[in-house]
Amino acid sequence: MASLSRQLAQWAAKLSYEDLPAAVVDRAKGVTLQSLTSVLIGAKSASGEQAVQMIVDEEAGVRKGATVWVDGTRVTLGGAAFANSEMALSGGKYDTFRMLTHPNTAIIPAALVAAESCGASGKAYLTGVVAGYEVMERMAAQFIPQVMSRGFHAGPVFGIFGAAVAAAKVMGLNEDQINSTIALCASLAGGNLESIRCGGKALREGAATRNAMLAVNLALRGHVGGETVLEGDAGFYHAFTGNNHGVLNYSFVGETRADFKQITAHLGEQWMFLETLYRIYYTAGYNIAHVDVTAALCQENNIQHEDILRIEATVNWMETQYPSPAFASRREDGEARVAGTAFFTAYGAVKRSYPVLAGQSIDAASVPPPVLDLMKRVTIIPSHKMTLFGPRILIITKDGKSFAKQSTGREFIWDFDGLVARIGAVSTGLCIPAKQYEQLVGACRHLEQHEKADDLVKLTLRSHAS
């Protein structure tokens, strides 16, 4: 049987726009808009500005390369990929796959940098995005908790593969070159968790995206990566999960083994990409459903926050111990705190929503007092049987009645128009005019009609408004 990287490369190389179901194309447009929206927020953040300034100071004036979004400076492909990814991550409006990876912070910057470098069409870009997502998410799906338990952040560890495959596909690399790209990513993958546990800031998808472009360029120039770099005795899975036999010490719902055959099973028939959720609020992804599900339960039953005695939320156990139960630095099933799961559950009950433009930092003094009061009466209950992002919310009122709502875990999976409806409120807080953002939305919606995918890049530039 062909190696894992070879099977993935064969599929990606053969994939065409015409192979993509309508729902898959629609989702590729949506994750693109979500990522670019996050960039337009993150460009104003301290970390976003720092990343851009570092790259511009080092690389401005290159003859060939790609554009730093918003800023407009032309730098190297790797430099643009890094800066654009860092802005996407800083903006907080990105997508989530199985809680701990955020594919579009790596895949979209890489795919658009590649599209700009080779003049790729909207269709070619969308096809590359789909290839990158499908490869990344299939590689990650069974192994995310195990990778986290070994001190690696699954986001950049798997994100490099998605970014590299997307860029390679957009740039027209052949099967052998894509195989080498994947293999090279195994040598370039990384992302350690200890920094966020000891007062530091993690180096995440920005570095992964930059390294992805290095892998693509090496493969393009003939660097051969090898065949069994993923599943081999000394390969990627051995290094990042502790073995190459699929043995799991940690998993979302209690599995003890993973099947490598599932990574490539039904490629092009069953689309794991469609499991990708949108993280609409700037919070840990596992908190987003607590806002909307609790709000819906209150709305459906006309429950007023002052009538609530207590709330119980039963959740997947991994959602209570971040970044991993192996060395949790943040527990959600303990005492309630501002910006914790109990806080967002209470916020949904009191305000029926959460501000889309709210940032990561929350000033307790600005929080409505009923939220601070109610969150102390929210109990978070971990369970090995609950689906990710699918809490069961139980509200007990002061008159002795109880009301429950079971989330599906799919509340934050929308089509393109659904995303626009939810994310539209951010337009007043971006670094470009609202009218220009409307043009960007329109360009994403009709991206398959664009001869050049990098039309999107121009619509992120501050100078475009003038």
Q: Residues 143-165: pLDDT tens digits? A: 999 999 999 999 999 999 999 99
**Quick one: average pLDDT of 61-71?**
94
**Given the structure tokens 């073995």, which residue do they identify?**
243
Hey, which residues does 308 pair with through a beta bridge? 397
Calpha distance 43→82 (Å, rounded): 13
**Quick one: average pLDDT of 425-440?**
93
Torsion sign, CA atoms 239, 245, 246, 250: negative
Residue 452 lies in a domain: no
Calpha distance 380→319 (Å, rounded): 10
Residues 268 and 312 in one domain: no
Q: Which of 377, 406, 435 is the last residue of a domain?
A: 406
Residues 233 and 313 in one domain: no
Residue 437 lies in a domain: no
Calpha distance 38→92 (Å, rounded): 6
pLDDT at 464: 72
Residues 269 and 313 in one domain: no
Residues 299 and 228 in one domain: no
CA dihedral of residues 263, 264, 267, 273 (deg, nearest 10): 20
Residue 57's contacts (CB-CB under 8 Å, 6 or more residues apart) are none
Residue 248 lies in a domain: yes
pLDDT at 1: 86
pLDDT at 466: 53
Residues 271 and 294 in one domain: no
CA–CA distance from 163 to each of 160, 325, 438 (Å)? 5, 28, 27
- Let me know: does 110 contact 93? Beta carbons within 8 Å: no
Backbone angles phi, psi at 464, to 5 degrees: -65, -30
Residue 456 has pLDDT above 90, yes or no: yes
Give CB contacts under 8 A, 24+ apart, made by 435-441. Answer: 436/464, 436/465, 437/37, 437/40, 440/33, 440/36, 441/33
Peptide bond before residue 325 is cis, with ω within 30 degrees of 0: no
Residue 153's contacts (CB-CB under 8 Å, 6 or more residues apart) are 100, 191, 192, 193, 202, 204, 323
Residues 131 and 159 in one domain: yes
Residues 336 and 266 in one domain: no
Q: How confident is the model at residue 463 (pLDDT cuts 50, 70, 90)?
A: confident
Torsion sign, CA atoms 425, 428, 431, 434: positive
Q: What tens digit of pLDDT does each residue of 8-34 get? A: 999 999 999 999 999 999 999 999 999
Q: Which of 278, 303, 320 is the last residue of a domain?
A: 278
Residue 419 lies in a domain: no
Residue 291's contacts (CB-CB under 8 Å, 6 or more residues apart) are 281, 344, 345, 347, 348, 353, 354
Going by the DSSP 8-state scheme, the letter that residue 97 receives in this structure is B
Residue 155 lies in a domain: yes
Residue 442 lies in a domain: no
**Displacement of CA 364 from its chain's centroid (Å):** 27
Q: How confident is the model at residue 286 (pLDDT cuts 50, 70, 90)?
A: very high
**Quick one: average pLDDT of 440-453?**
98
Q: How confident is the model at residue 360 (pLDDT cuts 50, 70, 90)?
A: confident
Closest of 222, 138, 250, 229 to residue 183, by C-alpha: 229
Calpha distance 133→19 (Å, rounded): 15
**Given the structure tokens 């180096």, which residue do they identify?**
203
**Quick one: average pLDDT of 347-376?**
94
Q: What tens digit of pLDDT does each residue of 252-272 get? A: 988 999 999 999 999 999 999
Calpha distance 213→351 (Å, rounded): 44
Going by the DSSP 8-state scheme, the letter that residue 290 receives in this structure is H
Q: What is the CATH number of the domain that holds 205?
A: 1.10.4100.10
Hey, which residues does 402 pair with through a beta bridge? 396
Residue 444 lies in a domain: no
**Quick one: average pLDDT of 355-378?**
94
**Quick one: average pLDDT of 57-75?**
95
Residue 296: domain span: 286-406
Residue 190 has pLDDT above 80, yes or no: yes
Closest of 328, 324, 319 to residue 143, by C-alpha: 324
Calpha distance 454→438 (Å, rounded): 17
Q: How confident is the model at residue 465 (pLDDT cuts 50, 70, 90)?
A: low
Helical (H) or strand (E) element with 392: strand 392-397
Residues 73 and 122 in one domain: yes
Q: Which of 389, 406, 423 is the last residue of a domain?
A: 406
Calpha distance 113→294 (Å, rounded): 40
Q: Are strands 66-67 and 74-75 parallel, antiparallel or unpaired?
A: antiparallel
Q: What is the CATH number of the domain that holds 334?
A: 3.30.1330.120
Q: What tens digit of pLDDT does each residue of 220-249 get? A: 999 999 999 999 999 999 999 999 999 999
Expressed in angstroms, the distance from the first to the final Cα of the chain is 57
pLDDT at 93: 92
Calpha distance 45→207 (Å, rounded): 18
Residues 159 and 299 in one domain: no
Backbone angles phi, psi at 86, to 5 degrees: -65, -40
Closest of 400, 407, 301, 433 to residue 345, by C-alpha: 407
pTM over 0.75: yes
Closest of 23, 124, 96, 131 to residue 418, by C-alpha: 23
Residues 262 and 298 in one domain: no
Look at the chain and report how many structural domains it folds into.
Answer: 2
Of all residues in the chain, the percent with pLDDT exceeding 90 is 94
CA–CA distance from 284 to each of 27, 49, 232, 311, 426 (Å)? 22, 23, 34, 20, 19
Residue 424 lies in a domain: no
Q: What tens digit of pLDDT does each residue of 305-317 get? A: 999 999 999 999 9
Residues 304 and 336 in one domain: yes
Residues 218 and 72 in one domain: yes
Hey, which residues does 393 pair with through a beta bridge? 313, 405
**Given the structure tokens 């039963």, which residue do they identify?**
314
